[in-house]
Amino acid sequence: MILGVMQPYFFPYLGHFQLIMATDRWVVFDLVRYNRKSWMNRNRILHPTDGWQYVSVPVSGPQDQLVSAVTMVDPDAALRRIQGQLEHYRGKAPYFHVVRDLVDAAFARTKGGKLRDLNIQTLSVVCEFLNIRFDWCIGSELDLDLSGVQHAGQWALEIADALNCVRYINPPGGRDIFRVDEWTAKGIELRFINPPVFQYPTGPYEYIENLSILDVLMWNKRESVREFIAGNIHVTE
């Protein structure tokens, strides 16, 4: 089994979905402290007049709370704000209505007020739309003994070992936290995915790379996006 372990991000960029497609099982990693400067409660879309802007979901609670405990302040208000920020795409982006419906669906399918659960649904609705298999589970609900974790690179190692995985794939940005010899000792292959930039026309706006998947889906056919994801999965040691 090939494993992916990632914190739950809000409508992440296209490379995130390439990682999902490259794995068999996905662990929503909610066992560490929440980072307010991460991509968990925000992402980027085009700004109507200049560059890009954040779309975000306000959250409450102490600074040091675990990801599993983070709650949204007012999901309905957040949805209305995001819908408003997407309006400038109307009449310009050919798939505006499709994307708006995906956002609505993610919020509608979220039960309770946890940010983690909303982010799982943002991944789920996009994967369903793109016909990407998404076999996920929540880290804090696996009841794993992770007391032996001594540094950041061991979280994924211990989870992969407990789930009897033969390979683990990580985004390229996290390479420095891992110690290859630890993975070799447990007989698990450590690999990294290198997602290429997907460049596409954006109507009257200037193209900006690595925006939220929402922007990608605004301008591109579903089939084209899936074909690019499937045809450009580059996994290396």
Facing residues of 26 across strands? 4, 136
**What percentage of the chain reaches a pLDDT higher than 90?**
95
- Per-residue pLDDT tens over the stretch 146-156: 988 999 999 99
Q: State the DSSP code for 66.
A: B
Q: Using the 8-state DSSP alphabet, how is residue 94 labeled?
A: T
Global pTM? 0.96
The whole-number average pLDDT for the span 126-133 is 99
Say if residues 131 and 124 touch (Cβ distance below 8 Å). Answer: no
* 216: nearest Cα among 98, 69, 117: 98
How much of the chain, in percent, has pLDDT values that exceed 70?
A: 100
Q: What is the pLDDT of residue 38?
A: 94
Beta strands at 2-6 and 71-72: parallel, antiparallel or unpaired: unpaired
- Residues 6+ positions from 225 with CB-CB distance below 8 Å: 14, 130, 198, 216, 217
Contacts of 160 (CB under 8 A, 6+ apart): 3, 5, 168, 186, 188
pLDDT tops 90 at residue 63: no
> For the stretch 200-229, what's the b/e string if a residue is b when 16 or more beta carbons lie within 10 angstroms of its beta carbon?
eebeebeeeebbbbbbbbbbbeeeebbebb
Mean pLDDT of 1-30: 98
What number is the average pLDDT over the span 10-29? 98
Residue 131: half-sphere exposure toward Cβ, Cα within 13 Å: 8
| pLDDT (tens digit per residue) in 76-116 | 999 999 999 999 999 999 999 999 999 999 999 999 999 99
